[in-house]
Amino acid sequence: MVSVILVVVILLAIVFDFINGFHDTANSIATSVSTRVLTPRAATLMSASLNFVGALISVNVANTIASGIVNVQLEQFVIASTLCGAIVWNLITWYIALPSSSSHALIGSLIGSTIVVTGDLRVVNWKNILDKVIIPLFTSPFIGFIIGFFVMKLLYFLLKNSSQRFVNKWFSKLQIGSAALMAFSHGSNDAQKTMGIITMALVSGGFIKASDGIPLPVKLVCALSMALGTSLGGWRIIKTVGMNMIKLQPVEGFAAETSAAAVIQVMTALGAPVSTTHVISSSIMGVGSSKRLSAVRWATAKDIVITWFITIPATILLGAAFTFLFRLL
């Protein structure tokens, strides 16, 4: 029999996925909207559709979340606390228009919740967190920056004798493809985190075994909820990422999106729950820096990077606080 708390956990997971969709929409469409290659409506619909498709393709990241972060079977209220902590952080950073990582918010909150309920640091799989969370936290933005920088340098070299009109005409078309690839990549990595959480709850409730993998209905629900969230857009963060940090042309938007999507696809194949927010933001910084360092508004970039680093510690505290509160109740 399905318990009330399991229903609550699944509903919270769907809410988190929905918020993740509108919170992280900027990751896949900010550049194409800022360069005016796509209207906000067209970009959002395309992103929602490809987020849905991408979410159904792979389960590597979902498996990491479901069984690779903590070494203990958690009670339902702990999973609910984890989701509440991540949801609160996403809403805070959305409200102040900073592109934080939903992935790291969920992982940080899960760590905090687990430590409070067990009172034991050893139940956290620190090696997996180091290999698949902390190291990618530093390496993926760095790689995104470097690839974005050199891809843009190469394009400048190849197009140096072309007119601006020619470049804008062709890259306005090519950027639609790169935006689509970025949206697909976002879905293939980000929606899987919620799949992992719901699967963890179903295992805890005794409905499936951990060895059963991710059930198809869970994949469909998570893909749909993220697509619906994406369809509403995240205009506050789109402005921060696509307009406030650097003024982009279509060729630069193409370079940033293509570079970011390549990094995300590699990390997804490795099962690393990488932050798509970090990767696209750093790729945009790399593309801007290839023109000149002053092209990037580093004050905005600094605020974004600071948010990256405080997300995990902040959500560990939020997850711990919600777990403490729910345990009292």
- The number of domains in the chain is 1
Please tell me the predicted confidence (pLDDT) of residue 66.
66
Please tell me the predicted confidence (pLDDT) of residue 136.
79
168-174 long-range Cβ contacts below 8 angstroms, 24+ apart: 168/249, 168/250, 168/251, 171/249, 171/250, 171/251, 171/253, 171/254, 172/35, 172/37, 172/250, 174/250, 174/254
DSSP state string for 214-276: --HHHHHHHHHHHHHHHHH--HHHHHIIIIIS----HHHHHHHHHHHHHHHHHHHHTT----H
Is the model's pLDDT at 244 over the cut of 70? Answer: no
What proportion of the chain, given as a percentage, has pLDDT over 90? 19
Pair of tokens at residue 137: 């936290």
Angstrom distance (rounded) from CA 146 to CA 98:
22
Instruction: Name the least confident of 202-206, 237-241, 277-281.
Output: 237-241
Q: Confidence class of residue 236 from pLDDT cuts 50, 70 and 90?
A: low
Output 68 or 214, whichever has higher pLDDT.
214
Output 181 or 187, whichever has higher pLDDT.
181
Domain that holds residue 311: 4-328
Please tell me the predicted confidence (pLDDT) of residue 301.
72
Please tell me the predicted confidence (pLDDT) of residue 271.
73
Determine whether 106 is exposed, middle or buried from the number of CB atoms within 10 Å of its CB (0-12, 13-18, 19+): buried
Compute the mean pLDDT over every residue in the chain, rounded to the nearest whole number.
Answer: 83
Please tell me the predicted confidence (pLDDT) of residue 298.
74
**Whats the size of the chain, residue-wise?**
329
Is the model's pLDDT at 34 over the cut of 70? Answer: yes
C-beta separation of 220 from 10 below 8 A? no
C-beta separation of 279 from 262 below 8 A? no
Please tell me the predicted confidence (pLDDT) of residue 247.
75
Reported as a single tens digit per residue, the pLDDT across 219-230 is 888 888 888 887
Please tell me the predicted confidence (pLDDT) of residue 26.
60
pTM for this predicted structure: 0.80
Instruction: Choose from 55-69, 73-87, 182-196, 287-301 the range with maximum mean pLDDT.
Output: 73-87
Question: What is the pLDDT averaged over residues 216-243?
Answer: 73
Please tell me the predicted confidence (pLDDT) of residue 67.
66
E runs forming strands in the chain: none
Please tell me the predicted confidence (pLDDT) of residue 71.
79
C-beta separation of 60 from 269 below 8 A? yes
Please tell me the predicted confidence (pLDDT) of residue 325.
92
Eight-class DSSP state of 119: -
Q: Confidence class of residue 214 from pLDDT cuts 50, 70 and 90?
A: confident
Please tell me the predicted confidence (pLDDT) of residue 145.
92
Please tell me the predicted confidence (pLDDT) of residue 242.
52
Q: Confidence class of residue 274 from pLDDT cuts 50, 70 and 90?
A: confident
Other CB atoms within 10 Å distance of the CB of residue 196: 26
Angle, CA 198 vertex, CA 193 and CA 200 arms, to 5°: 95
Question: What is the pLDDT averaged over residues 246-272?
Answer: 85
Reported as a single tens digit per residue, the pLDDT across 138-160 is 788 889 899 999 999 999 999 98
Nearest CA to 19 among 194, 278, 196, 267?
194
